[in-house]
Homo-oligomer: A and B are copies of this chain.
Amino acid sequence: MKNLIILSVCFGLTFFLFINMVFADTCADAYANDRTAIMELQSRYLFALDFRDAETYASTFTEDGALHWARGEIKGRKAIYDFIASGIYNPAGSAEKGKWPAASRHFVTNQIIKVDGNTARSFSYWFEATNNTADRKTMVLGLFGHYEDELVKIDGQWYFKKRAIYNEGLEGRHKAGEENPAR
């Protein structure tokens, strides 16, 4: 009798869970989680870039991660940290008399993210807005282009293994007229 009660409860719960799972249809789809995490990573990268936070910036790359940008390749988290910390990259310029410092902000959109287990490739667009103008109040579009990223998931966390930055305003870094890279 006792067995029969346990058996009934067990069967009832199992049946409930089974029906639940069949109609839920989300449990097998990890893609949304991965794409979400990678978009978050790309946002973290840009806040760190524009606010010149070298530590956070470097932390978005793997230990051996590589950044391909306008002036070449920077390889390894340490070198990437030094790159930002050195202040070489400072498009905004410093504050002039009676004015506040100008800001450069980079915006990312149009993510195409292809996940394959613990690796992924991402293609996305970026553009820059800046108020590095005489009065700080006039704002202009700066540059634009796209990113091509190779990503890897380590202990549940996504990192850039390689980030290549293409720039339509720089000779040698543009892709206009070429084939769709995200195809």
Name A residues whose Cβ lies closer than 8 Å to a Cβ of B.
3-4, 6-7, 9-11, 13-18, 20-21, 24-33, 35-37, 39-40, 42-44, 46-48, 51-53, 56, 92, 95, 100-103, 105, 107-113, 123-125, 127, 129, 131, 136-146, 168-171, 174-183
Contact = CB atoms under 8 A, between A and B. Distances in A.
A112 B49 CA distance: 14
Given A103-B174, A139-B143, A177-B95, A27 B29 contact: no
A174 B137 CA distance: 11
Contact of A26 (B29, B112, B182): B29
Overall SS of chain A's interface? mixed
A7 B7 CA distance: 7
Q: Which 3 A-B pairs have the closest CB atoms?
A: A103-B176, A51-B180, A53-B180
Contacts of A29: 26, 33
B40 A35 contact: yes
